Amino acid sequence: MRALVTGVGFVLVAVVAQAATPDIFAGRDSAGAPAGWTAQFGSPPARVEALPDGACTVLEGTFKGAGDRLCWDWNGPLDLSQADVVSLEIRSENGGLVGNLGVYFGAPGGWYAAFGWGGPADAWTRRTWQLGDFGSEDKPAGWDQVNCFRFSVWGTAPGRVTFRLRGFRALPRDLQRNFLRNGSFEIPGPLPYAWGNGHWGLGNLPWAADTALWRRHFALDSEVARGGRQSLRVVNAPDLPRLQAQSAWFGLPGAPGSTYSASAWLRADRDGLPVTLACGERSASVQVGRAWQRAILPGIEPGSQQRLALAAAAVGTLWIDAVQVQASGQDTETFHPHPEDDGLCQREAQVDWSSPRRTAEVAAGRRTTGPLTPAKVAIDSDGRFLVDGQPYLQHSLGLEFISDPALLEVPAAAGFAEVCIEVNRGITTDQLKAWFDRCAELGLRVIPWLDGDIPLERFRSHLIALKEHPALLCWYVFDEPSGERFAEANRRLALAHELDPSHPALINYLGDKLTGHLGDLYSTDIYPIPNSTPSAAIQGVAGMAAAAAKERKPVWMWLQGTGYAYSMDREPTPRELSCMVYGSLIAGARGLYYFAQIPRSPGCWAEMRALCAELPRLVPALGSLEAAPALRCDSPRLMAQSYRQGNEIWVLAVNTGREACVPTLGLALRAATAEVVFEGREVALTDGGWSDRFGPYERHVYRLLGPP
């Protein structure tokens, strides 16, 4: 039997016997070292670490640069012929440095291998792999002849990484396996993990203007449940847009002709509520009443990016619980948790949703007001982005669509001074100009994100009509080109330079291309939450900054601001978001955008509003060319940098780990105290040094007076 904890006080039991395989992380030799482990490619040896609840194998090493590899092998017999799933518990330190992680099983003649982007989270998490998802290198003899386990990682930048591993398991095939994560809504968090209402964030009114209103209509309900602790409650009220529940992406493997069935237990506040289940090209409708009933959608075809939607077609309250997607003929009334749910419960229960320390005044944020006046935009010989000759820190909310021009009032009310608006092929130049006009009235500068499918004539029309508009900040001419699309991106970049030489133009590249950005700025997007750490985004900035410095170009970065959709199962917490912002600034970013729309969770949205109040105060220091005194820091987990602006020394510091630390910092200054900006407190200095407590992913900004 395998007990699966899917929420505080609630245990589901899946009847799955564990295969008779050794725990490859538990063996010790006579000297107490991990038995069977050998380091590869110059990696340091594995070691054992004692923990309060046992011990683990520790694999650690230092990446020399991007593309460097660390690798360790465990050698011993493993018969996995009866297994369908393998899993292990893992946590990392500085896992954001990892670009790719590979898990291998060797057998005579070759390897079985599975890869994933990004490093593991820095909380203990059970990671699960389906053996059917492994590819092969050469011709391995068979899963019954496995004689080696390999753990291998590739770096994105120089730096030290540590991985702790324990609890290897192999489980036989579960014919009734559920392919849908968090179908029981028991994974901890403020909102239903891996479930949303169909988009990255809130993009429609009135929800975007009043996120609390949306949360009252789309929420976890601990008073009503088919099983376990809670269900998902969706309330459709008169005179409000209709809501539905949509899962994040999940994969359904299989050969052509194989199918799956989705099922859900449903209940309504009245009899006869019409509800539709839909996935891919398939849909089914049922009438739901006051008693729990099971609805089934058969005939779903395999696919790698599937989404399940449950939508009520009329006003009323719908409760949803015990949602499953199983192979046709194997669907069951008994709920089967997804194989990853226990690990996700373990990890998410450790997540800190509190906000970093700040005064109530800063937390209250600010409001942007207009109108705008025309401004001169330039990039100087030092690679600084300037507006009217002054250094400028771009900090915008991404709007992937404008459902109503009134939506533009939301970022202005939150304190943003810029918006990055996607412009798809259906938007006319007149529509776009109306958005620009409204932004100018509100005080919002615009970065138009021009879709690569816009016909060239319309692209040209947009640039000619708006190149002198006071709201225009720069041109964003293409997003994430790849393959043959690079040529089209370059063509549009050249056209933007030709039609409007007075404004910078950029291409936003995929996160695997951090050098050779052809626009006037460097820009990419990396969204690591919740499966990796904030450091993954920060390292993307560092990679761009190293290349951009040689070309004297500014660096901008898309940060993850939303989730609960597609490939991102939840939003960043306030601390994760703050860490990504301050880490990106320290790494060299001078422009930040949030992807995309209004966050659903109160903490993430409140953090954005507070950052709108904080970041403008940093601009003079971040844009200064004056040499700052060298900064000392005794903690490898703390990112910190000093800046001079006149007789002021500013220090930005952020804890990149999920555990608190108390580092010591120091400067060659004769100051007695340092103001902790945004927090209403001071720290005392001794010989230019001071200690301070940094909570998980917490930032502090210090201001000191020094000689001019």
Question: Locate tokens 């006051």: which residue?
Answer: 290
Mean pLDDT of the 247-262 span? 92
Pairing label, strands 218-221, 195-196: unpaired
Radius of gyration over every alpha carbon of the chain, rounded to an integer in angstroms: 26
pLDDT higher than 50, residue 264: yes
Mapping DSSP to helix (H, G, I), strand (E, B) and coil, where does residue 574 land? helix
Q: Which of 5-19, 300-314, 524-538 has the lowest mean pLDDT?
A: 5-19
Q: Residue 497: its pLDDT value, please?
A: 98
- In the structure encoding, which two tokens stand for residue 607, read together? 């953090």
Please report the pLDDT score of residue 708 as a whole number. 56
How would DSSP label each residue in 200-233?
A: SSB-STTTTT-HHHHHHHEEEESS--SSSS-EEE
CATH fold, domain 631-705, is Immunoglobulin-like (2.60.40)
* Nearest-10 Cα torsion for 124, 160, 591, 197: -20
Which residues partner with 212 through β-bridges? none
Q: How far apart are CA 138 and CA 136, in angstroms?
A: 6
How many other β-carbons are positioned within 10 Å of the β-carbon of residue 216?
12
| pLDDT one-digit tens code per residue, 641-650 | 999 999 999 9
pLDDT in tens, 267-308: 999 999 999 999 999 999 999 999 999 999 999 999 999 999
Question: If DSSP codes are grouped into helix, strand and coil, which group holds residue 623?
Answer: coil
pLDDT of residue 20: 59
Closest listed residue to residue 225, CA positions, set 321, 136, 142: 321
What residues contact 667, with CB distance under 8 A and at least 6 apart? Answer: 629, 630, 631, 632, 642, 649, 651, 688, 689, 704, 706
Q: Is the pLDDT of residue 10 over 70?
A: no
- Is 195-348 the same fold as 17-172? yes
Counting residues of the chain whose pLDDT is more than 90, the rounded percentage is: 84
The full 3-state SS of 388-442, as one line of letters, equals CCEECCEEEEEECCCCCHHHHHHHHHHCCCEEEEEECCCCCHHHHHHHHHHHHHH
Q: Please report the pLDDT score of residue 573 as a whole number.
A: 98
pLDDT at 11 over 70: no
How much is the average pLDDT of 363-379?
96
Tell me the fold of 195-348: Jelly Rolls (2.60.120)
Mean pLDDT on 96-119: 92
Q: Tell me, what's the pLDDT at 1? A: 26
Helix (DSSP H) and strand (DSSP E) numbers for the chain:
10, 44
Yes or no: say if 527 and 564 are a contact pair by the CB < 8 Å rule. Answer: no
Give, for 125, the enclosing helix (H) or strand (E): strand 125-130
| Sheet of strand 308-312, all strands in order from the earlier edge strand to the far edge | 195-196, 244-247, 308-312, 273-279, 282-288
What pLDDT does 504 receive?
98
pLDDT for res 2: 32
d(CA 595, CA 603): 16
Report the CATH number of the 17-172 domain.
2.60.120.260
Tell me the per-residue pLDDT of 584-597, one tens digit each, with 9 for 90 and over.
999 999 999 999 99
- In the three-class reduction of DSSP (H, G, I as helix; E, B as strand; rest coil), residue 361 is classed as helix
Mean pLDDT of 129-148: 94
pLDDT confidence bin for 122, thresholds 50/70/90: confident
Token pair for 185 = 């809504």
pLDDT for the residue 5:
37
Instruction: Work out the average pLDDT over 190-204.
Output: 96
> 676: closest CA among 696, 653, 701?
701
Q: What is the pLDDT of residues 29-88, one digit of tens each?
A: 878 889 999 999 999 999 999 888 788 999 999 999 888 999 999 999 999 999 988 999
Residue from 275, 307, 299 nearest 288 by CA: 275
Average pLDDT of the chain, as a whole number = 93
- Domain borders along the chain are 17-172, 195-348, 360-620, 631-705
Q: Which of 558, 571, 568 is nearest to 600 (CA)?
A: 571
User: What pLDDT is stored for residue 291 in this prediction?
Assistant: 98
pLDDT value, residue 6: 38
Q: Which two tokens stand for residue 568?
A: 């991102």
DSSP 444: -
Question: Who contacts 617 (Cβ-Cβ below 8 Å, separation ≥6)?
Answer: 677, 678
E-strand spans in 94-155? 98-107, 110-117, 125-130, 135-138, 146-155
DSSP bridge pairs for 671: none
- Six token digits for residue 36: 């069977």
Token output for 82: 């009866």
Q: pLDDT above 70 covers what percent of the chain?
A: 97
The distance between the two most distant Cα atoms of the chain, rounded to a whole number of Å, is: 77
Kindly tell me if the per-residue pLDDT of 613 is higher than 80.
Answer: yes
- Residue with the bigger pLDDT between 133 and 534: it is 534
Min mean pLDDT across 414-418, 513-517, 670-674 is at 670-674
CATH number among 3.40.1130.10, 3.20.20.80, 3.40.1350.10, 3.40.50.10090, domain 360-620: 3.20.20.80
Residue owning tokens 């909570």: 695
State how far the Cα of 665 lies from the Cα of 101, in Å rounded to an integer.
Answer: 34
